[in-house]
Amino acid sequence: MRIFFCLTLALLFTAPPKSEAAEFSDIPTEPTAGDAMLEDYFERETRKLSARTESLLTDVEDWPRLKADLRRQLFEMLGLQPLPARSDLKAEITGSTERDGIIVENIVFQSRPGLYVTANFYRPAEQDGPLPTILYQCGHGKVKIDDVSYGNKTHYQHHGTWFAKNGYTCLTIDTLQLGEIEGHHHGTHRLNRWWWNSRGYTPAGVEAWNAIRALDYLESRKEVDASKIGATGRSGGGAYTFWIGALDERIQVSAPVAGITSMQNHVVDDCIEGHCDCMFMVNTYRWDFPLLASLMAPRPQLILNTDKDTIFPLDGVVDVYEKTRGLYESIGAGDNIGLAMYEGGHKDTQPLRVAAFHWFERHLKGKSIDEEMEDTTAPKIFEPTELKVLDKIPGNERNTYIDDYFTRRVPRTLSVTANKSDWAAKQALILNRLKSRTFRGWPSTSEDLNLTEDLRIERDGIAFSRWSFDSQNGIRLPLYMAAPAGADETELELTVLNPLSETDWNDFLTQIGAAFPEAFPGAALPELDTEAYESEKKMHASQKWSMVYLPVRGVGPTAWTSDEKERTHIRRRFALLGQTLDTMQIWDIRRGIQALRSRTDAETEISPLWLQAGGHMAANALYASLFEPDIARLDLHDLPPSHREGPELLNVLRFTDLPEIAAIAGANSQLRIYTDDATPWSFLSKHAEKFEWPEKQLQIR
């Protein structure tokens, strides 16, 4: 992709050629100023979320109302709003084994059509009436023999065994990943499926829904006392225990083990790197994790962990507990919250199991806190083959591609709205949802830009200047401007803002930036492309245009690490804070526009402003134009046709996609879309024709 700052007369009518400039990067492998800026940013944003959470949980006057609001938000953030239909479970018992006074049944049900849940149901061989029951949710415990998965329920069988030996029934369910049908938990962690966030999808939602349907199944069993159901699990299963306890009041008692810690630990202390996506909701409403734990209140909840767990550190676990306890105490339920700690790392240790067993004995069976248990051992007594549920993978399974099925999305083929009033209503709805569901992580108020001119050079007929502005507190970005030497601001006929990706930045340095080394102190500049620079000089000699280049955060002077693994987890941190990197780069573009306009006083007529960008940055520029007035034209090169391939914006595919965004923008700004394939833009062409756009309003080249 060419960097599009060399705007010539030919560009007004034809798409520019591809660049042949060699790629260049001045990102060092050592920590950069961008790394420090980013670290400070994450700390500030995390403090904001934590402070808001603490304020919500302090001095609660109407907990039932607040709880209902928070629960609705959680359903949405797990991709469960609207709630899926409770279809026929089609539950089957595929086999059973009896040993040592325990019967274990192999169960399969469909939580949604084609979404299979494999499970083991443990119960005493002799039972007189319904019993208290535990829903056990597994962590990641791989059991695979000869390339056949036996499910992580097999790894965690000893928990079900103990409960059945001690007067409970227990349903242990497989998770989506490492179950007998192997789905995925690692979409953004290592599979590069950033569209998960755009779909509002997280595998945590699948695990939560499977648990809800598991409760539906338990209610159908005569062996189960449905008024006495508890939930537990460790690691991933600990997290899922928090989900189901928060969402479903049928859970009367919970004991999550090693399943939660603070936002501070995840974002600032790097714990997110040790977790797959199943541990997190799509954090639209910008929660810290005590809000999740508090949704169990006032029902009994024991939070368990070890003191040397590197992915659930002690300080974060205690922080979640303390803030949750404060809520419990404020509503008069302080006796129903507990914390159990034991020495050790991230392991399934017996002392933690014993604490959980005691908790259920007290709160499901009514035993006293001092009453001893006869047997606290939990051996594994079944062979993996005895716990296997499926002989073969069902042909209609959707587990392996549930990410493209679980949450609702706009149709892949969009239809033109029937009339102007319907389109106006739809457009208003889209803009409202963008503000409330996608860009909620933007600063709530615009801070001072603190715009300064740092440097001005006149050379070769070009006036080249560097400006700096605050996109938000602690995020200071440069603007580079090139205009005809000697031209006054009032003489300029056009201003073109070019938001730059890292590739664009490298091209910018090669084609013009390297001619002005004073503007890039400390940077290892590439060799100047003299042919491209000659074109620049000719353009500025013939046209009174100001070309402006904005390297958004994470690009050029504010670039952070070039390590791909680290960059992946940086993007995951943004998402966990209820933002995305693209979301905040769109904010940077908006602030860049504001900075340009702040350079002139109110009485000075501002030259028409164009935005020009390519690839993902073209989509970001498109979004920025929705929220800033008077963008005369958008020149968008290689604009992705969908967020499936385009920028990662929270929830956006649940209600719109890029062709509709272009249709909204095109009503106010002329659109030029440069593409090798116009087919994906047929909706936009039909929309323009339907609503009688002027001939020059849209051109797809």
Specify whether 352 is located in the same domain as 479: no
Give mean pLDDT, residues 531-543.
Answer: 95
Does residue 252 lie in a domain region? Answer: yes
- Greater pLDDT, 600 or 626: 626
Contacts of residue 421, defined as CB under 8 A and 6 or more positions apart, other chains included, come to none
- Greater pLDDT, 558 or 19: 558
Contacts of residue 1, defined as CB under 8 A and 6 or more positions apart, other chains included, come to 18, 19, 503, 504, 614, 615, 637, 638
Whether the per-residue pLDDT at 40 is higher than 60: the answer is yes
Instruction: Kindly list the distances between the CA atom of residue 492 and the CA atoms of 484, 485, 496, 512, 546, in Å, as whole numbers in the listed order.
Output: 9, 11, 11, 20, 7
**Is 40:472 a contact under the CB 8 Å cutoff?**
no
The crossing angle, in degrees rounded to 10, of helices 236-247 and 203-219 is 60
- The alpha carbon torsion through 553, 556, 557, 562 (nearest 10 deg) reads 90
Specify whether 480 is located in the same domain as 549: yes
Cα–Cα distance measured from residue 233 to residue 256, given in angstroms and rounded to the nearest whole number = 6
Cα–Cα distance measured from residue 263 to residue 679, given in angstroms and rounded to the nearest whole number = 43
Whether the per-residue pLDDT at 5 is higher than 90: the answer is no
Specify whether 514 is located in the same domain as 371: no
Residue 610's domain spans which residues? Answer: 439-700
State the DSSP code for 344.
Answer: S
pTM over 0.75? The answer is yes
Predicted pLDDT of residue 360: 98
Q: Which residue bears the tokens 């006074």? A: 101
Nearest-Å Rg of the Cα atoms of the chain is 29
Specify whether 325 is located in the same domain as 277: yes
Q: How do beta strands 301-306 and 251-257 pair?
A: parallel
Whether the per-residue pLDDT at 635 is higher than 50: the answer is yes
Does residue 432 lie in a domain region? Answer: no
Give mean pLDDT, residues 670-681.
Answer: 96
Specify whether 489 is located in the same domain as 347: no
Give mean pLDDT, residues 393-416.
Answer: 95
- Greater pLDDT, 6 or 383: 383
Give mean pLDDT, residues 569-574.
Answer: 98
Whether the per-residue pLDDT at 445 is higher than 90: the answer is no
Predicted pLDDT of residue 77: 98
Specify whether 509 is located in the same domain as 394: no
Specify whether 579 is located in the same domain as 684: yes
- Geometric angle at alpha carbon 553, from 15 and 49, rounded to 5°: 135
602 band by pLDDT with thresholds 50, 70 and 90: low
Share of the chain above pLDDT 90, in %: 89
Cα–Cα distance measured from residue 525 to residue 515, given in angstroms and rounded to the nearest whole number = 10
- The alpha carbon torsion through 562, 568, 573, 578 (nearest 10 deg) reads 120
Specify whether 668 is located in the same domain as 533: yes
Predicted pLDDT of residue 605: 66
Predicted pLDDT of residue 333: 97
Predicted pLDDT of residue 622: 98
The crossing angle, in degrees rounded to 10, of helices 658-666 and 420-433 is 110
Share of the chain above pLDDT 70, in %: 95
Domain-ending residue, one of 404, 431, 451: 404
Specify whether 261 is located in the same domain as 350: yes
State the DSSP code for 427.
Answer: H
- Geometric angle at alpha carbon 171, from 166 and 173, rounded to 5°: 140
Split into its structural domains, the chain has a count of: 2
Does residue 111 lie in a domain region? Answer: yes
Predicted pLDDT of residue 6: 42
CATH of residue 510? 3.40.50.1820
Predicted pLDDT of residue 320: 98
Instruction: Kindly list the distances between the CA atom of residue 641 and the CA atoms of 126, 416, 651, 701, in Å, as whole numbers in the listed order.
Output: 62, 16, 17, 14
Predicted pLDDT of residue 32: 86
Specify whether 367 is located in the same domain as 501: no
Predicted pLDDT of residue 176: 97
Specify whether 306 is located in the same domain as 192: yes
Does residue 293 lie in a domain region? Answer: yes
Joined tokens for residue 1: 């992709």
Give mean pLDDT, residues 373-391.
Answer: 94
Specify whether 112 is located in the same domain as 183: yes
Whether the per-residue pLDDT at 603 is higher than 60: the answer is no
- Greater pLDDT, 412 or 659: 659
Domain-ending residue, one of 404, 419, 454: 404
Joined tokens for residue 202: 């997280």
Question: 430 in helix, strand or coil?
Answer: helix
Which long-range contacts link 32-35 to residues 24+ away (Cβ below 8 Å)? 32/559, 32/560, 32/561, 33/557, 33/558, 34/553, 34/554, 34/557, 34/558, 34/559, 34/560, 35/560, 35/561
Q: What is the DSSP string of 559-627?
A: -----HHHHHHHHHHHHHTT--HHHHHHHHHHHHHHHHHHTS-TTSPPPPEEEEEETHHHHHHHHHHHH
Give mean pLDDT, residues 208-234.
Answer: 98
Does residue 428 lie in a domain region? Answer: no
Does residue 225 lie in a domain region? Answer: yes
Predicted pLDDT of residue 373: 87
Domain-ending residue, one of 404, 424, 459: 404
**Is 290:265 a contact under the CB 8 Å cutoff?**
no
Q: What is the pLDDT of residues 324-372, one digit of tens each?
A: 999 999 999 999 999 999 999 999 988 889 999 999 999 999 999 888 8
CB atoms within 10 A of CB 358: 20
Q: What is the DSSP string of 62-95?
A: -HHHHHHHHHHHHHHHTT-SSPPP------EEEE
Contacts of residue 275, defined as CB under 8 A and 6 or more positions apart, other chains included, come to 189, 266, 311
CB atoms within 10 A of CB 510: 22
**Is 478:466 a contact under the CB 8 Å cutoff?**
yes
Reduced DSSP (H G I as helix, E B as strand, rest coil) percent helix, strand, coil of the chain, to 5: 40, 20, 40
Q: What is the pLDDT of residues 453-508, one digit of tens each?
A: 999 999 999 999 999 999 999 999 999 999 999 888 888 999 999 999 999 999 99
**Is 221:169 a contact under the CB 8 Å cutoff?**
yes
Predicted pLDDT of residue 604: 60
Predicted pLDDT of residue 7: 42
Contacts of residue 578, defined as CB under 8 A and 6 or more positions apart, other chains included, come to 49, 283, 284, 285, 286, 440, 441, 650
Cα–Cα distance measured from residue 623 to residue 666, given in angstroms and rounded to the nearest whole number = 11
Question: 631 in helix, strand or coil?
Answer: strand
Q: Quick one: three-class SS letters along 668-696? A: CCEEEEECCCCHHHHHHHHHHHHCCCCCC
Predicted pLDDT of residue 601: 64
Whether the per-residue pLDDT at 98 is higher than 60: the answer is yes
Q: What is the pLDDT of residues 407-437, one digit of tens each?
A: 999 998 999 999 999 999 999 999 999 999 9
Mean of per-residue pLDDT scores for the chain:
93
Give mean pLDDT, residues 210-232.
Answer: 98
Q: What is the pLDDT of residues 157-200, one digit of tens each?
A: 999 999 999 999 999 999 999 999 999 999 999 999 999 999 99
Predicted pLDDT of residue 406: 97
Does residue 656 lie in a domain region? Answer: yes
Does residue 547 lie in a domain region? Answer: yes
Whether the per-residue pLDDT at 36 is higher than 80: the answer is yes
Give mean pLDDT, residues 686-696.
Answer: 95
Whether the per-residue pLDDT at 19 is higher than 60: the answer is no
**Is 95:103 a contact under the CB 8 Å cutoff?**
no
